Amino acid sequence: MKRNTILKKTLACISLMALLLTGCAKVPEAITEKTNTERLEEKAVVTLAAAPAEKTQESQEPQEPPMHSSPLYEKLGAPTRYTAVLNPISDIVTITVDAPVYLPDIDKLPTLHVSPRDFTEQEVMQLFSALCGDTVMYKARQQMTRQEIMERIEDVQTEMETATDKDRIKKLESNLTYWQEAYENAPETLEQEVSQGQLEERQLGLKEYLGKYMALDAYEQQTDYYTHTGKSFHVHGQTFDKNLKSSYDFPISGSIWYDRDDSFGQYLNYNQRTWIADETLVPADARGLAMTPLQARQRVESFWKDSGFSDMAVVAVYLTQNTDTGLSGGTDTPDAYGDNSAYVVACGRSIHGILPPPPSGGDPHWAFESCTFTITDRGIETFIWNSPYAYGDETTEDSSLLSFAAIDEIFQKMMTVKYDETGDAGTLTSAAYHIDRVALEMSRLTNRKSSEKGLLIPVWNFYGSYYFTYSDGHAFGSEDREGFPQPLLRINAIDGTLIEPRYGC
């Protein structure tokens, strides 16, 4: 009895002490903070005071009619044309602005999550059917015949006879061993198998297991292991397995590539694309094209509709040009398209009726989605779809956007800060930057080096050109760049920070 009483009293004392200590204990601070994108999401949902934005003074010159009428002009106080002359510190740098302002024809823009996804079997089948349905396609050979391997062996042996570099000789010896081993197991002949567009599982990495992915390679005609003619259709599914030892520390994004004939207009997929403002007219510098950009757009829109992709939309139409080298690269076959032009129609899945981001580049960790058709008067020459997105939860359907006046202030300041540095380059004699288009578009943001999730947010893109001259007389400009036009400045429409794809955010 006495012992029980003592025990109860002891327990009571201990409990009381614990309670007191708990009360006195400092509540630990949170050890993590919101990421940059999480803070951005918070800002996106904050509703600003409803005072109408001041309209930036419009240019005195006659206004270009906007591409679409949009309630956002008034909401954000944005002009239809934006002009300015900036004053960089460096004497050799000039920055001018004379740009129509393009806003989406809606009254609100969302902020939503985005993540990488793989192509579905159904998507692949639909595209395969739409692009190659009228042609018998054969599965690409995954093996070489003995004859083909023997030719490789002979090539290696021939090179070994004259090679002098020790590293090269070592490499050739390794190749020779590889081909000789392959020769032992190679078949004499291979039967061609018809492809119905089904994906097959493949292993990444010949010697080291780096992961599995779904793939499809099909040709209209394959004369030998390396040579094919006619249509080709390739699918490379997304490859990423964190648990496997891999030389890749980010996903290999999925891609689909279709060519009507890859010996035709080979440089159409690589050369510079120029954005077309007026799609109703064939651009003056277009060669070998009778169809208008609008017709190209409509061609693509029909394709999507006919093939069952109801949510795919055309983002923009660009003009590109083939390079006439006389020969197609890597083969002796002449490129039949010479230096004629083609339209590149950029597409994407619409975001609740809003256009997806235009093609972009520069993030080494997670490729931006790019879905393009190369159209000539013959029709669809090429279809390339890389790194498809999966749209996730919407943070808000009506992001809180800064007024254009705020964006203007940031633009004028940051344009000079960012490009003033070019004036420090040693032999540069002049650096001229000119903004010729301003557009409010959706763009992808990620946290640093993320390859798994990001945000799609409204971004002010300032497109333009640049031209540098050097003391030795040579010059370089944006005309010499390849690929799609990239903004000279990207400003986050929600918080006004600059966006640089290589940083993600």
Partner 1 sequence: MKISTRLSLLFVLCSTASLLLCGLLLLHASETNTIRSLQSNGTAELNMLQTSFTAVAAKSIDVNLSDTARQSLLVYLFRGYAEDSLSTSQYILKQGEDTLYNNSGYAPKALLLGRETNTAFLQGRNLLAVGTQIELLKETYQIYLIRDVTDVYEGITKLRLQFVLICLVSLGINAGLILLSTRRALRPLYTLRQAAAAMAAGDYGSRVPLSHGARRRGDEITALSLSFNHMAAAVEEHVSTVNRLAEERKMLLGALTHELKTPMTAIVGYAQSLERAKLSPQQQQDALSFLHRETRRLDRLSQKMMQLLTLTEGEAPQLAPLSARALFEEARGTLLPIAKGYGAVLSFAEQGEVFAADADLLIDVLVNLVDNAGSAGAKHIAIAARGQALFVSDDGSGMSEQILSRVTEPFFRADKSRSRKGGHVGLGLSLVNRIAQLHKAGVQIDSAPGQGTTVSLIFEENLQNPYIPPKTC
Q: Which residues bind partner 1 (CB under 8 A)?
A: 28-36, 39, 402, 406, 409-410, 413-414, 417-418, 447-448, 491, 495-498, 500, 502-503
Judged by CB, which is closer to partner 1: 333, or 497? 497
Count of beta carbons in the 10 Å neighbourhood of residue 107:
11
- φ/ψ of 8, rounded to 5, equals -65, -40
Provide the β-strand partners of residue 214: 201
Least gap, CB of 486 to partner 1 (angstroms): 17
Least gap, CB of 416 to partner 1 (angstroms): 9
Short-list 369, 487, 504, 367, CA closest to 447: 504
- φ/ψ of 282, rounded to 5, equals -70, 125
Strand pairing report for 379-386 and 370-376 = antiparallel
Least gap, CB of 101 to partner 1 (angstroms): 19
Residue corresponding to tokens 């002098």 = 164
Least gap, CB of 35 to partner 1 (angstroms): 6
Q: Which amino acid is at 89?
A: I
Residues 6 or more apart whose Cβ sits within 8 Å of residue 318: 273, 274, 275, 276, 343, 344, 345, 346, 484, 485
Distance CA 126, CA 129 (A): 5
Judged by CB, which is closer to partner 1: 214, or 415? 415
Judged by CB, which is closer to partner 1: 246, or 446? 446
Report CA-CA distances (Å) from 122 to 131, 309, 499: 14, 11, 35
Judged by CB, which is closer to partner 1: 28, or 473? 28
Judged by CB, which is closer to partner 1: 283, or 501? 501
Least gap, CB of 103 to partner 1 (angstroms): 20
Judged by CB, which is closer to partner 1: 183, or 503? 503
Least gap, CB of 48 to partner 1 (angstroms): 11
Least gap, CB of 33 to partner 1 (angstroms): 5
Q: DSSP letter at 76? A: H
Judged by CB, which is closer to partner 1: 234, or 365? 365
Residues 277 and 324: beta-carbon distance below 8 Å: no
